[in-house]
Amino acid sequence: MAETTLATKARSSKRDAQSPFRVFTHRLVRYRPGFYSLIILVILYILAFIGPFFIRYSPNELDLTNMLAGPSIHHLLGTDENGRDVFARLLYGGRVSLIVGLIAVVISDTIGVLLGAVSGYFGKATDLIVMRFTDALLAIPGFLLLLVVLSLFSPSLTKIELAIGLTSWMTIARLVRGEFLRFKDSDFVLASKSIGASDWRIMFRHILPQSVSPVIVASSILVGVAIILESSLSYLGLGIQPPQASWGNMLTGAQNYVFSEPMLAIYPGLLILITVAAFNYFGEGLRTALNVAE
Amino acid sequence: MARYIVGRLIQSAVLLVLVTIIVFGLIHAAPGGPSAVMADTKLPAAQIARMRANLGLNEPIPIQYLKWVEALSKGDFGLSYTDNRPVLSEIRQRFPNTLILAGTSFVLSLIVSIPLGIYSANRARSAADNIVSAISFVGLAIPVFWFGIVLIIIFSVKLHWLPSSGMYTTNQGSTFPDLLKHLIMPAIVLATPTIAQFTRFVRASMLEVMSQDYVRTARAKGLAESRVTYLHVLRNALVPIITIVGLSLPIVVAGAAVTESVFGWPGMGRLAVDAAFTRDYPVVMGITVLVAAFVILINLVTDLAYMLVDPRVRLK
Predicted confidence at residue A275, as pLDDT, reads 94
Question: pLDDT below 50 — which residues of chain A?
Answer: 1
Predicted confidence at residue B179, as pLDDT, reads 84
Residue to substitute from B21, B136, B146, interface A, most A β-carbons within 10 A: B146
What residues pair up with A79 in beta bridges, in sequence order?
A: A85
Please judge whether B291 and A231 are an interchain contact, meaning their C-beta atoms are less than 8 angstroms apart.
no
In this predicted model, which residue has the larger pLDDT, B220 or B172?
Answer: B220
In this predicted model, which residue has the larger pLDDT, B174 or B287?
Answer: B287
Residue A241 is classified by DSSP as P
How far does B249 lie from chain A, in Å, by closest CA? 8
How far does A284 lie from chain B, in Å, by closest CA? 10
A266 contacts on B by Cβ (under 8 Å): 150, 153
- CB-nearest to B137 from A236, A268, A280 is A280
pLDDT at position B122 over 80: yes
- CB-nearest to A236 from B15, B138, B273 is B273
B249: closest chain A residue by CA = A141
A267: closest chain B residue by CA = B146
Q: pLDDT digit string (tens) for B182-203?
A: 899 999 999 999 999 999 889 9
Predicted confidence at residue A51, as pLDDT, reads 77
Quick count: other Cβ atoms within 10 Å of Cβ B304?
A: 16
* Dihedral sign from CA coordinates of A86, A87, A89, A93: positive
The interface predicted TM-score of the complex, written ipTM, equals 0.84
- The SS3 assignment for B79 reads strand
Please judge whether A148 and B276 are an interchain contact, meaning their C-beta atoms are less than 8 angstroms apart.
yes
Q: pLDDT digit string (tens) for A167-204?
A: 889 999 999 999 998 888 888 988 988 898 888 898 88
Residue B18: pLDDT band (50, 70, 90) is very high
Q: Mind spelling out the 3-state secondary structure of A71-103?
A: CCCCCCCCECCCCCEHHHHHHHHHHHHHHHHHH
Please judge whether A141 and B254 are an interchain contact, meaning their C-beta atoms are less than 8 angstroms apart.
yes
Tell me the longest C-alpha to C-alpha distance in chain B.
82
pLDDT at position B261 over 50: yes
Residue B87: pLDDT band (50, 70, 90) is confident
Among A192-196, A271-275, B61-65, B312-316, name the one with the lowest average pLDDT. B312-316
Mean pLDDT of B209-229: 86
Predicted confidence at residue A219, as pLDDT, reads 93
Predicted confidence at residue A67, as pLDDT, reads 65
The alpha helices in B123-267, defined as continuous H runs, are 127-141, 144-151, 176-210, 213-220, 225-227, 234-237, 241-262
Predicted confidence at residue A37, as pLDDT, reads 92
Q: What share of chain B is helix, strand, coil (3-state, %, to 5)?
A: 80, 0, 20
B280: closest chain A residue by CA = A151
Please judge whether B254 and A281 are an interchain contact, meaning their C-beta atoms are less than 8 angstroms apart.
no
Give the separation between CA A30 and CA A4, rounded to whole angstroms: 22
Predicted confidence at residue A1, as pLDDT, reads 46
pTM value is 0.86
Please judge whether B279 and A136 are an interchain contact, meaning their C-beta atoms are less than 8 angstroms apart.
no
Q: Residue B292, by phi and psi: left (phi above 0), alpha (psi -120 to 50) or beta? A: alpha
How far does B224 lie from chain A, in Å, by closest CA? 31
Predicted confidence at residue A270, as pLDDT, reads 93
Percent of all residues in chain B with a pLDDT value above 90, rounded to a whole number: 21
